[in-house]
Structure 1
Amino acid sequence: MRRLPILVFALLFGKKVSAQDIIPRAVDQPKIGRSLFSREPKRNFSRKGEWFVHWGWNFSWYDTSDINFKGPGYDFTLKDVKAKDRPSKLSWDYVNPMELTTPQFNVRFGYFIKDNYSISLGWDHMKYVMEIPQTVKVDGYINSTISSPDIATGAYAGTYNNTPLQVKEEMLTFEHTDGFNYVSTELERYDDIWVARSQKQMLTLETGVGVGAMIPRTDVRLFGVGENNFWNFAGYGVSLKAGLKFNFTKKFYLQSSAKVGFTDLTKIHTTGRNSIDKASQTIRYVESLTVLGFQF
């Protein structure tokens, strides 16, 4: 009789142990963000905690812009000024390590804060060139001499009230060609469109929003006086972007994106007499960029 309780206890304890043994252990699954294109994740890994860096080149298109020039003896605005970019001719400069910053380029370094969100810091080196000659409307005044030391203005002296004027090289050349630099922080989102069975190749939609500083190097000649000014903090910019990212391995990718931006530049250097002469403008643009990248 003494053995019976012991036997019953052993049987009960044995069943309990056996039940615990057959319960599957929880497996930590990577937290994968849902895609706009599929309810179920197509990947078996998460990007969270990874870094990326990419480099590439751009083309830009600019909306017309009002440019205000102000200093001793003058305060005038050129309205609806036309401008374009100036991409370098196709050459070895695009891949020459000593000349990589000569063409219009993009570089960006970022970190995945979640599987489908990243934050990044980058530099868009664009170029903005005012078309010369062109006819615009002008508001304001220009004295017979301006700035200090005096600069003669010749036939351009006068008072303007929405007056048509042909701007020639003898009056003005104006360009941000070294360059129209947008240094920005961006928040990006990623949505998987297609993922290969191997999990190595994939096509992803990237969208993002950015904000940053405008640090142009502006080359100006105002009535023949000016210089290729040094880089300076001239204002700020905001941007939106969307594009396609193709991973041909888990690490390497090719990305093509379009970006629309608005910039407000209030402290543009002109004649080199930065304490008295300056210009200001807002610039709206569309940028097309293609980059090669590495994720790690």
Structure 2
Amino acid sequence: MNKFYLIVFLLVFSLKTKAQQSSGISDNKVIIGKSLFGNETKRDFSRKGDFYIHWGYNHSWYGKSDIHFNGPGYDFTLHDVQANDRQSKLSWKYLDIGQISIPQYNFRVGYFIKDNYSISIGWDHMKYVMDIPQRVAITGYIDKEISNPGIPTGEYAGTYNGEMLDVKADMLTFEHTDGFNYANVEIERYDDIWVAPSRKTSLTLETGLGAGLIVPRTDVRLFGTGQNNYFNVAGYGVSVKAGLKFYVTRGLYFQNTTKLGTTNLTNIHTTGRNSIDKANQKINYVENFFAVGYQF
């Protein structure tokens, strides 16, 4: 994974260098995008043609969701399931290049198509962990033995019509912890809130819209059977975001952003028997992340 990030960075750097070399004699006129805040001091440079890259860490909150499980001998839904993320404890993992991708992280590369608009690609590595035990409503049916080869279900066998059920680890554990990954494309707008007299240091509002694929690695045990499944494209998502970028220099910046997203996962791997056992759910979330980046 770290080699992938290095390749992306080198590719972006080479494209930037090539664009500069092919630009020839440049027009000295600087076109600055109009800010909603109408600040008097303006930058003396345009962002158009710049690239940016950043890395950061996130914390997420999830709305209640219904999880639908189906396969041979069962078809049931757990309603209003509660879940949380799983933060790594503050440690050297956040600085160790060999373990930098273990905590919940954000990686993004973007290009300014205009002074105040950019388009970017990114990877939001979140984590989703169903609270166990918890009491939820259940509908559907569970036979005494499910899947193939058969898995005994014990006291959970039956037909359900909205009864409350205590879900314990002997019935289910359910996590997107390697993780709840959102591979996405975003378009962003920038409005300068404040520009220092030096015209290099500034505070900027960033807003954006995004869409992409959900690529989880889901760890499930259903009646004791399951595995930490392989990564798969389980569904799609859309999102909106707003945040602040503080440019220390023209290039170096720190960022804090909040993102609202909704996702539809139609093909979740469960027991590892992917041709017959699966689950689906829709997850709404709020994500906040801090990042450090560079624009060039």
TM over 0.5: yes
What secondary structure sits across from 1:272 in the alignment? coil
What secondary structure sits across from 1:43 in the alignment? coil
**Offset at residue 45 of structure 1 (A):** 1.0
Q: State the partner residue of 1:270.
A: 270
Instruction: Give the residue type in structure 2 aligned to 1:69.
Output: F
CA contact (8 A) 1:140 1:160 kept: yes
Q: Deviations over 1:115-139 (max 9, x none)?
A: 0000000000000000000000001
Q: Are residue 204 (structure 1) and residue 204 (structure 2) matched?
A: yes
Q: Are residue 133 (structure 1) and residue 129 (structure 2) matched?
A: no
CA contact (8 A) 2:39 2:192 kept: no
- Once residues 45 and 251 of structure 1 are traced to their aligned partners in structure 2, the CA distance between those partners, rounded to angstroms, is 12
- Once residues 29 and 78 of structure 1 are traced to their aligned partners in structure 2, the CA distance between those partners, rounded to angstroms, is 61
**Offset at residue 112 of structure 1 (A):** 0.2
CA contact (8 A) 1:35 1:41 kept: no
Q: Deviations over 1:8-53 (max 9, x none)?
A: xxxxxxxxxxxxxxxxxxx842111000000767112100000000
Q: Deviations over 1:84-110 (max 9, x none)?
A: 000101111111111011000000000
Q: Deviations over 1:183-234 (max 9, x none)?
A: 0000000000000111121000000000000000000000000000000000
Q: State the partner residue of 1:248.
A: 248
Q: State the partner residue of 1:61.
A: 61
What count of residue pairs does the alignment treat as equivalent?
Answer: 270
Q: State the partner residue of 1:42.
A: 42
Structure number with bigger Rg:
1
What secondary structure sits across from 1:113 in the alignment? strand
Q: 1:1-296 maps to which residues of 2 (within 5 A)?
A: 28-38=28-38, 42-296=42-296
- Once residues 77 and 250 of structure 1 are traced to their aligned partners in structure 2, the CA distance between those partners, rounded to angstroms, is 52
What secondary structure sits across from 1:93 in the alignment? helix
- Once residues 288 and 161 of structure 1 are traced to their aligned partners in structure 2, the CA distance between those partners, rounded to angstroms, is 38
Unaligned runs of 5+ in 1: 1-26
CA contact (8 A) 1:239 1:260 kept: yes
Q: Deviations over 1:227-250 (max 9, x none)?
A: 000000000000000000000011
CA contact (8 A) 1:55 1:105 kept: yes
CA contact (8 A) 1:128 1:177 kept: yes
Q: 1:177 to 1:81 in 2, by over 3 A?
A: same
Q: Deviations over 1:139-184 (max 9, x none)?
A: 1000000000000000000000011000000000000000000000
Instruction: Give the residue type in structure 2 aligned to 1:35.
Output: S
Unaligned runs of 5+ in 2: 1-26
Instruction: Give the residue type in structure 1 aligned to 2:76.
Output: F
CA contact (8 A) 2:124 2:182 kept: yes
CA RMSD of aligned residues (A): 0.9
| Shift >4 Å, 4+ stretches | none
CA contact (8 A) 1:32 1:41 kept: no
**Offset at residue 78 of structure 1 (A):** 0.1
In the superposition, the TM-score normalised over structure 2's length comes to: 0.90
